[in-house]
Amino acid sequence: MQETENIQTTATTSSGTSVLEKCSRVLSALFNPFLVPLFAFILLFTCTYLNIMPLQYVTLVLGTVFSFTILVPWLFIGLYNWMNRWTLKEMSTRKRRFIPYVLTIMSYTTCLILMYRFHYPRYLSGIILAGLMCMAICSLLNLRWRVSIHLAGCGMFIGGLWSYSILFFFNPVWWLCGFILLSGIQGTARISYHQHTLLEVIVGFVVGMFCGIIGILFI
């Protein structure tokens, strides 16, 4: 009887862990720092008055953002990994993350320069500026400490959402509640699987939120 209870308890624990792991993977993809700017632009063009923009303009903006925040960094980082024969897990160590940070910062900087060069509105280029600031701060922290870049993505998303609610005069309460809940799940999962400590998760979130607010509203 006791053995049966132990098996049931183990199965329940395993099931709960499996659900948490699946949630963690989904949220890691959603709040991947490379994807946050693109998601932010998509939300702007679908959930605000910017949905009246011509399709050609929206396509141009999204294409630029996709190219320099996702495609180019992934290509360069993939090439860097291939040259060193590293897997993604091997590259995730603190010392090996610095070069990918630098490559990403260079790509974001190029995107920001192009946006300024072609006179993109400040409220659009602010997203890229926030992402660039977040990457720069995380890369500096990474020299001594392995801060959570995924929670930085969560924080930047929430900080950006609050900033745009001020710029576009909408009530963000339910959006904020939803994304804060998802961020909590993401942070819990990364701590549970020993990918980060509690402090690394908190600092990553605070850095991201700070950059999302300062980059969009004040710079």
Q: What is the mean pLDDT of each run of 10 residues along the chain (219 residues)?
A: 47 56 68 82 88 92 94 88 72 72 92 93 92 92 85 92 90 90 86 84 94 90
pTM: 0.84
Q: What is the pLDDT of residue 196?
A: 84
Q: What is the pLDDT of residue 10?
A: 45
Q: Do 64 and 111 contact (CB within 8 A), yes or no?
A: yes
Q: What is the pLDDT of residue 24?
A: 66
Q: What is the pLDDT of residue 219?
A: 73
In a domain, 23, yes or no: yes
Q: Is 85 left (phi over 0), alpha (psi -120 to 50) or beta?
A: left
Closest CA to 190 of 162, 153, 159: 153
Q: Which residues contact 120 (CB under 8 A, 6 or more apart)?
A: 61
The separation between the first and the last C-alpha atoms of the chain, rounded to the nearest angstrom, is 66
In a domain, 194, yes or no: yes
In a domain, 154, yes or no: yes
Q: Which residue has the tokens 């659009």?
A: 124
In a domain, 140, yes or no: yes
Structurally, the chain folds into a number of domains equal to 1
In a domain, 52, yes or no: yes
Residues spanned by the domain of 62: 19-218
In a domain, 129, yes or no: yes
In a domain, 59, yes or no: yes
Q: What is the pLDDT of residue 2?
A: 45
Q: Do 175 and 161 contact (CB within 8 A), yes or no?
A: yes
Q: What is the pLDDT of residue 8?
A: 47
In a domain, 13, yes or no: no
